[in-house]
A and B are shown apart, each in its own frame.
Chain A
Amino acid sequence: MTDNAQEENTFICMCEDITLKEVMEAIDEGFTDLEEIKRHLRCGMGICQGRTCVRLIATIIAQKTNQPVNNIISPRTRPPIRPIPYSVLAGETSEGEG
C-alpha cells in the first residue's frame, strides 16, 4: 500500500469515522491543536468523548509540528465523563423500574 492509501485506510477516530489522512490534512490546513481539530473534524465529540483518538492525534500533531507530545494540550473535559441517560439526570426512573 502506498503511504496515501495507508493514511486513507487508517481510522483514528472510531466514533466519527475520521481517517489519518483527514487528520493530516487538517493539520496542514492550520488546525494544529486538539481543541481545533475536535471542532473541525469532530474527533472527540463522539460517544467515547475522545478516549480513543485524543492521544493518537496528540502524537500525530507532535510529529508533524516537530515538538514533544507533552506540549500538546488536552482538550477541556466536558462533563458528564461517561454518557448518562436523560432519565437518570432528570430524576425520572425508566419504564419497568417502578
Chain B
Amino acid sequence: MKVKDKADVVIVGGGVSGCALAYYLAKTGVDVAVIERKFLASGATGCCPGGIRQQFDAERKELILLSKGSVKIFETLDDELNYDTEFTQKGYLFPIVTEKDLEGYKENLGVQRSLGVDVEFLDSHEVKEHEPKLDVDGVGIIGAIFCHEDGTANPFKVTYAYAKAAKRLGANIYTYTEVEAIRTAKGEIKSVTTSRGIIKTNTVVNAAGGNSREIARMVGVQLPNLAFPEENIVSEPLKPTIKTVIKARPTSPSSPGIFIHQTKNGEIIGPGGERLGHDTSSTLSYLKKATRKAVRYFPALKHINVLRTWTGMQDYSPDSLPILGPTDGVETFIQFNGLSGVGFMLAPHCAKLLSQLIVEGKPSTLSELVKKLNLRRFKGGHACTKFL
C-alpha cells in the first residue's frame, strides 16, 4: 500500500504519544499521517507496565502538572473514544522505610498538594489496611504517601483507542512503514520519504521514542536523548492480591525500590529493571532480581508462577523531562520525545498541548509548561545523567 502523497502533519512513531496526537489533531480537522516502522505500540509503549501517577518529586513540578492533566483526560477517555482502556484509579502507594526519606516525601507531598493533587500520608497501620498482603513489618515500612486518583490503564488499549478514533476522524496510520529521509529547505520541512512513497508536508512530529535521535538526524538536529532497555515481568493470573500500585524509590542496597501492581486480568506486573545497552533480550539475572524484590515486598508471591518477561527501549532526556515543541532553526519540526520512562501517563496531556501548538501555530500562545520543555534547554551540551 502506497502512502497518501500529502498531509498537513506527519507524525513519526505509532506509540501512545503519536496516536494520541493524531487523534487530537484529526479532531480539529488537521489532515494527519502516522508513520510506524513496525506495529502500533511496538516500542516503549508496548513495554510499559501501565502506571499513571501524579506523584513526582518537588523539583520536577513539570511532571506533576503534565500528569495531572493526563489523569483528568483518562477519567473520561473511555467515553470520549468509545473504548475500554482498563483505566483504574486504585491509587499509587509509596512506602517509606527511613526517617530521612520521610522528610523528603513530606516535602514532595506539600508541593503536590499545592498543585492540586490529592495526596495523603499513611502511617504503618493505615498502610496495612490499604495493602493487606504487603509485608509492612518485614520490609520495615514506617509510613507511605498515597494518592487515590492515581492508577493504571492498559497501554495497548489506550494506543488502539486513540488510533481507532483518529482513523474515524480521517487520520491515516501506516504500519510497517519506515521513514527514510526528511527533506527541508531554508529551515522549512518539505516532505517525508517513506518506504511506501513520499508525503509532502510542512510539519513533522518526532514521536519515535528510542529512535528519535535517528529521526532528528535526518533534519540535521542533534538530540541529547539516550535510549536504553527496561525489562519487565508478569505472573500467572491470580485472585485480587495487590490492591494499589506500589512504587518505592531505591534508598540503599538493602532497600532496592520496587514497582508492582496487579492488572484487571489478575496478573502481577513488575518490578521492572533498567540497564545500559541496546540488547532487548531477556536475562536470567533480571528474573532473579525482580522475583527476589517481589517476594520481599509480597511474600505470598513465592507460590505463584512467572509467566513471561519482556524488554523494550526507553527514551531518556538528560534531565528526565520530556522534550516538547518546535525546534530552533526548523520551527515546524516538533519534538515529542525524551519521555524518560513516564511517557504513557504523560501522553494524553502532552498530545493535547502539542495539538494546540500545531493548530494555532503560534509559539507565543504556548503554555509556559511547553515552553520550558523545549529542546533549546540543552543548548551547550548535556549528557544524560541517568546512569552516572
Which residues from chain A sit less than 8 Å from chain B, CB to CB?
33, 35-36, 39-40, 42, 45, 47, 49, 78-80, 83-87, 89-92, 94
Chain A residues with CB under 8 A of B305: 83-86
* B100: interface (CB < 8 Å): no
Interchain CB contact (< 8 A) of A84 among B292, B306, B310: B306
Residues A78 and B309 in contact, CB atoms below 8 Å apart:
yes
Stretch at the interface among B51-59, B219-227, B296-304: B296-304
Residues A39 and B46 in contact, CB atoms below 8 Å apart:
yes
Interchain CB contact (< 8 A) of B288 among A45, A47, A89, A94: A89
Residues A78 and B308 in contact, CB atoms below 8 Å apart:
yes
Chain B residues with CB under 8 A of A85: 302-306
Chain A min CB distance to B306 (Å): 5
Residues B235 and A86 in contact, CB atoms below 8 Å apart:
yes
Nearest opposing residue in chain A for B235, CB measure: A86
* B294: interface (CB < 8 Å): yes
Nearest opposing residue in chain A for B267, CB measure: A45
CA distance A86 to B295 in the complex (A): 7
CA distance A6 to B305 in the complex (A): 34
Excluding A45-B308, A92-B302, A94-B302, 20 further A-B contacts by CB distance (< 8 Å) are: A39-B41, A45-B307, A47-B236, A47-B237, A78-B282, A79-B282, A79-B308, A80-B287, A80-B309, A84-B306, A85-B304, A85-B305, A86-B304, A86-B305, A87-B302, A89-B291, A89-B292, A90-B294, A90-B295, A90-B302
Residues A40 and B156 in contact, CB atoms below 8 Å apart:
yes
Interface of chain B, main secondary structure: mixed
Nearest opposing residue in chain B for A45, CB measure: B308
Residues A80 and B306 in contact, CB atoms below 8 Å apart:
yes
Interchain CB contact (< 8 A) of B295 among A39, A45, A47, A87: A87
Residues B39 and A36 in contact, CB atoms below 8 Å apart:
yes
Chain B residues with CB under 8 A of A45: 307-308
Q: How large is the interface on B (under 10, 10 to 19, 20 to 34, 35 or more residues)?
A: 20 to 34
CA distance A78 to B282 in the complex (A): 7
Residues A86 and B307 in contact, CB atoms below 8 Å apart:
no
Chain B min CB distance to A84 (Å): 5
Q: Mark B256-292, 1 if CB is under 8 A from A, else 0.
A: 0000000001000000000000000010000110011
Nearest opposing residue in chain A for B268, CB measure: A86
Interchain CB contact (< 8 A) of B39 among A33, A87, A89: A33
Chain A min CB distance to B250 (Å): 18
Residues B288 and A90 in contact, CB atoms below 8 Å apart:
yes
Nearest opposing residue in chain A for B293, CB measure: A90
Chain B residues with CB under 8 A of A84: 305-306
Interchain CB contact (< 8 A) of B306 among A39, A86, A92, A94: A86
Residues B310 and A78 in contact, CB atoms below 8 Å apart:
yes
Chain A residues with CB under 8 A of B39: 33, 35-36
Chain B min CB distance to A19 (Å): 17
Residues A79 and B291 in contact, CB atoms below 8 Å apart:
no
Q: State the 3 A-B residue pairs at the shortest beta-carbon distance, nearest first.
A: A83-B305, A89-B291, A90-B291
Chain B min CB distance to A47 (Å): 6
CA distance A35 to B156 in the complex (A): 12
Question: Given the known A-B contacts A33-B39, A36-B39, A79-B287, are A91 and B292 also in contact in the complex, defined by CB atoms under 8 Å?
Answer: yes
Nearest opposing residue in chain A for B167, CB measure: A30
Chain A min CB distance to B176 (Å): 9
Q: Mark B347-380, 1 if CB is under 8 A from A, else 0.
A: 0000000000000000000000000000000000
Nearest opposing residue in chain A for B163, CB measure: A30
CA distance A49 to B294 in the complex (A): 22
Chain B residues with CB under 8 A of A91: 288, 292
Most buried by B among A33, A36, A39: A39
* B316: interface (CB < 8 Å): no
Question: Given the known A-B contacts A84-B305, A84-B306, are A35 and B291 also in contact in the complex, defined by CB atoms under 8 Å?
Answer: no
